[in-house]
Amino acid sequence: MTMPLMKPKRKNPVLRTRQMNLPPWARGRVALGMTAAAAEGRFELQVCQQCQAVQYPPREACHRCLSAQLKWRPQDGQGTLLADTRLHHSNDLFFRERLPWRLGIVQLDAGPTVIVHLHDEVAAPPQRVHVGARIDRAGQAVLIGFPNDGSEHMADDRMLREMASDPRHRKVLVTDGKTPVGQAMVKALAKAGADLIWVGHAEPWKKLPGLEDITAMEPVALVPLDLTNERSVSELAGEIGGKVDIVVNTAEVHRSFGIAARRGTDVARHEMEINYFGLLRLAQAFGPALRARSADGVTHATAWVNLLSVYALSNFPPHGTFSASKAAALSLSQCLRAEMRPAGIRVINVFPGPIDDEWNQNMPPPKLAPAALASAVVDALKQGIEDVYPGEVAQEWLERWKDNPKVLERELAAGG
């Protein structure tokens, strides 16, 4: 049984902060299909469309009939642990600093035999397990063997914490606490066991609904943060940047209408100022500090969360300029992910559909409750997922976009 993770002692300031060493990251293009699925929380393997053979490791042709018609399909991961071992020596720098490390060989019910990282709660072989795909610190998919019946504290497994960004005992910055989403995020992070939550507020002197409730919570501290002001962002980064483990950017400006229904560029400029340039200022100020602390003990800096929108995938004309600002933010966050990856910092992009707030009052149900969005973000941190599409509308849009982006564009232009 996994012992619950205790709150780490305060770091000795005299000790050197370790530099990040990544696990082996080289993958062929074919194998990146597994990574793409794991980024959204799925375990997929190649399945031959001719003979239905399940493939592992990934390859260009079927090992049974040599067909090139291989498609990635979800797997349930059920299998039998055949053998296990515990490494006490490694030539790889990443694993050398984290020994001992448990590995196992699993025979999947689907057919292939796979080598997996093994959770410590899995009993000695032979043993039934289920295999899942997770994103490691290098941003690549790896396979993990889990017990079918885990304990309450199985998420505290030392190996599993390396594959996730659990907020427990970590210090978090939520950039905007005045919105329902920001306040729900603070409550969800506090419930998940965050050690300290800084909540940004561009105008701390204003008494806004719900703000007093969250600032009264024990782990919460209100801090001045205006993402339109580079000096405000830089000053806060200088004060707390070296302590933050997770950044959750909930700040956004959302206005309706597209191009012709509104004159001038003031509203669109304001959307870009927060949704795009605000993210850019935040990344420039806090990014270097997170990268520097990515190997700093068991509660190292670990993740960056961006609140985007499913409208970033394909423009929704009734919210046209907002969609454009989120599309720009998506492109920027992909750049941020690439720059953060060498330090092992996971960038999580969240693509909700319409949220149940003041800017979506005229939208018909279903709409996503802020608490449900916050819960999805915390789950993504715990499971190490990179891309999150919470809510029924976001899931439907995602499927339609994957099927044919041009068709989705036409449907949205026609009002559907």
Parallel, antiparallel or unpaired: strands 141-147 and 127-135: antiparallel
Q: How many DSSP H helices and E strands does the chain contain?
A: 12, 15
Cα dist. 11→8, 141, 195, 286 in Å?
Answer: 8, 31, 15, 20
**Taking the domains of the chain in order of start, what are their residue ranges?**
32-162, 171-413
Q: How confident is the model at residue 5 (pLDDT cuts 50, 70, 90)?
A: low
pLDDT category of residue 329 using cuts at 50, 70 and 90: very high
The pLDDT score that the predictor gives to residue 12 is 67
Q: Is the pLDDT of residue 8 over 80?
A: no
What is the CA 5 to chain-centroid distance, rounded? 22
Residue 6 clears pLDDT 70, i.e. is over it:
no
Dihedral of the CA atoms 129, 135, 138, 140 (nearest 10)?
90
What is the band of 396 on the pLDDT scale with cuts at 50, 70, 90? very high
Take residue 81 and report the two structure tokens written for it: 């642990």
Q: In Å, what is the CA distance from 333 to each residue of 4, 32, 244, 302?
A: 34, 20, 19, 16
d(CA 317, CA 81): 52
**171-413 — its CATH code?**
3.40.50.720
Exposure class string for 370-391: b at 16+ Cβ within 10 A, else e: bbbbbbbbbebbbbbbbbbbbb
Is the pLDDT assigned to residue 3 strictly greater than 70? no
What is the rounded radius of gyration, in angstroms, for the C-alpha atoms of the chain? 22
Q: What is the model's pLDDT at position 327?
A: 98
pLDDT of 37 reads 96
Each residue of 122-146: pLDDT tens digit? 999 999 999 999 999 999 999 999 9
Q: What percent of the chain has pLDDT over 90?
A: 73
Amino acid at 220: V
Which residue in 75, 79, 101 sits closest to 88, CA to CA?
Answer: 101
Q: What is the mean pLDDT of the chain?
A: 91
Identify the bridge partners of residue 133 per DSSP, sorted by sequence position.
143
Whether the CB-CB separation of 84 and 106 falls below 8 Å is answered with no
- Entry pTM: 0.92
Instruction: Name the CA dihedral angle for 345, 350, 351, 352, rounded to a multiple of 10 degrees.
Output: 180
Cα–Cα distance between 181 and 416 in angstroms, integer?
26
| Helix (H) or strand (E) run with residue 197 in it | strand 196-201
